[in-house]
Structure 1
Amino acid sequence: MQKAIGFYWTLPVPWARFTTLPEDIDAAAKASRTIRYQREVIRRFAKENKLALVAEKVFLEIAPDRSSRAVFDVLKPLKALCQAEEAILLHVDFARVQGWRSMAPLADWADEHGIRVETVFPGEIVIDSQVFDPHAHFSDWRARQREWSEGKADRLATARAAIERLSVDGLTNRDIAEALNARDIRSATGKPWTAETVRKLRPQKAP
């Protein structure tokens, strides 16, 4: 029986506080609907085409709006596994839905190392009695991402005002970061506050 390896990836969503992804496949599927969708599509495809799925790997990109060469760190160990098992690498090609979320670096890597890759069409499926439509899902994501991006100036203004108030109390940058996180005052990127990000916005003391 032909062997195969499933590869599932997604983008971080800072505004939803989704910036990390468990390496365990099932845990990752619980954390991300996109990963869960890919897992189900690939598993169904493997079963229908009599492929033995010998491994599955997940990857979270480093930027919320593009694929990058950072994926090579994850693909590197898969090269030996693909070759040892003579396995096909399976992944869902979201670009075939609406020309978006292309994983071009994966294709380049596969060509360079002679890895056989098979893309699976991202069709609409039912998961736990609910329909998952990739086109609708990503259209909604882009709308919310655009709304988040347009609110950056307001988030910065709110954060600067809060930092200025807290600075009067003589708190350290680390103390202020903890206070901002506890009060759910969002940073420009959506990532948790750190002493360094507070320092960049904190009013400078007069000499």
Structure 2
Amino acid sequence: MRTAYVGFYWTLPVNWADFRRLPSDVEGAAQASRTIRYQRERVRQWVKEDAVSLVGEIAFMDVRTDRATEAVREALIATRRVCVRRKAKLVYVRFEEQNLWRSNPYLRRHAEEFGLELVALSPDPLTIDGRRFDPAEHFKRWRTADKEQMGELRREAYQGLEQALSVFPEGAGRWQAIAERLNGDGIRSLKGSTWTPENVRKVVNRHHNVFA
């Protein structure tokens, strides 16, 4: 009888690209995220080469844009049910072998907490649909793009906020009016999300010297 495995694939949100959710099915998640697709292909290739059985796949998006978090624990609770039911081990790609930016100590910690046997695969480059995909190179390019896009996002947010502050005088309802104007103009917050009265107030108070 072949050893059974469940593939676990994870990624981070990208606020400036409005990428905050994954489709619930793995195929859809792999279409939405190149990182998820790479992990899926890496695991499936390993399963084929080692003549083991892949009995389940789970895709997970964390909550922060820059690092793994404890949020993976909830995803692993659901994963554990699959592993127990199918008497399977958990397999994932250990990105931190080559790229500390994608380390995920929480995944290993909670897998151990739940008694899951975890198998880590090296993040080897693959050819996917005729094109080479190297995770280390991909994440390096992504960090550069992320830095550039977030810088542009902040510039637009500050400019829009400065204009709105000049239109709406101090007084009751000011933060609400500013948030509605910014959202209506399609200007996103410093983190790429929609504006609320509370985050308008916080940004203005935190960076009061910019808007003085």
Structure 1 residue 156, shift from structure 2 partner: 3.9
For 2:181 and 2:9, locate their aligned partners in 1 and report how far apart those are by CA, in whole Å.
36
For 1:17 and 1:95, locate their aligned partners in 2 and report how far apart those are by CA, in whole Å.
26
Alignment length, in residue pairs? Answer: 202
Give the residue type in structure 1 aligned to 2:99. Q
For the structure 1 residues 18 and 153, does the alpha-carbon distance in structure 2 shift closer, same or farther, using more than 3 Å as the test? closer
Aligned to 1:117: 118
Q: Deviations over 1:71-123 (max 9, x none)?
A: 11111122122122221101011101233311211111122222111011111
Please give the residue correspondences for 1:1-207 in structure 2 after superposition, counting only pairs within 5 Å.
Answer: 1-150=2-151, 154-164=155-165, 167=168, 177=179, 179-181=181-183, 183-198=185-200, 200=202
Identify which range, 79-88 or 22-31, moves more after superposition: 79-88
Contact 1:3 1:87 in 2 (8 A): yes
Identify which range, 147-156 or 95-104, moves more after superposition: 147-156
Identify which range, 113-122 or 139-148, moves more after superposition: 139-148
Structure 1 residue 202, shift from structure 2 partner: 7.5
Q: TM-score, normalised by structure 2?
A: 0.82
Structure 1 residue 28, shift from structure 2 partner: 0.8
Give the secondary-structure state (helix, strand or coil) at the position aligned to 2:141: helix
Contact 1:160 1:201 in 2 (8 A): no
Identify which range, 148-157 or 91-100, moves more after superposition: 148-157
For 2:26 and 2:195, locate their aligned partners in 1 and report how far apart those are by CA, in whole Å.
29
Structure 1 residue 166, shift from structure 2 partner: 5.7
Contact 1:5 1:82 in 2 (8 A): yes
Give the residue type in structure 2 aligned to 1:188. L
For the structure 1 residues 175 and 36, does the alpha-carbon distance in structure 2 shift closer, same or farther, using more than 3 Å as the test? farther
Q: Deviations over 1:1-36 (max 9, x none)?
A: 211101000111112221111121111111111011
For the structure 1 residues 145 and 51, does the alpha-carbon distance in structure 2 shift closer, same or farther, using more than 3 Å as the test? same
Contact 2:164 2:181 in 1 (8 A): no
Contact 2:153 2:192 in 1 (8 A): no
Q: Deviations over 1:154-194 (max 9, x none)?
A: 344213124236647xx986675465345432320011334
Give the secondary-structure state (helix, strand or coil) at the position aligned to 2:22: coil
For 1:189 and 1:23, locate their aligned partners in 2 and report how far apart those are by CA, in whole Å.
24
Q: Deviations over 1:31-90 (max 9, x none)?
A: 111011111111111111112111111111111111111111111122122122221101
Q: TM-score, normalised by structure 1?
A: 0.84
Give the secondary-structure state (helix, strand or coil) at the position aligned to 1:9: strand
For 2:65 and 2:13, locate their aligned partners in 1 and report how far apart those are by CA, in whole Å.
5
For the structure 1 residues 137 and 52, does the alpha-carbon distance in structure 2 shift closer, same or farther, using more than 3 Å as the test? same
Deviation above 6 Å: which 4+ runs of structure 1? 171-175
In percent, how many aligned pairs have the same letter?
38
Give the secondary-structure state (helix, strand or coil) at the position aligned to 1:64: coil
Identify which range, 46-55 or 141-150, moves more after superposition: 141-150
For the structure 1 residues 179 and 51, does the alpha-carbon distance in structure 2 shift closer, same or farther, using more than 3 Å as the test? farther
Contact 1:90 1:117 in 2 (8 A): yes
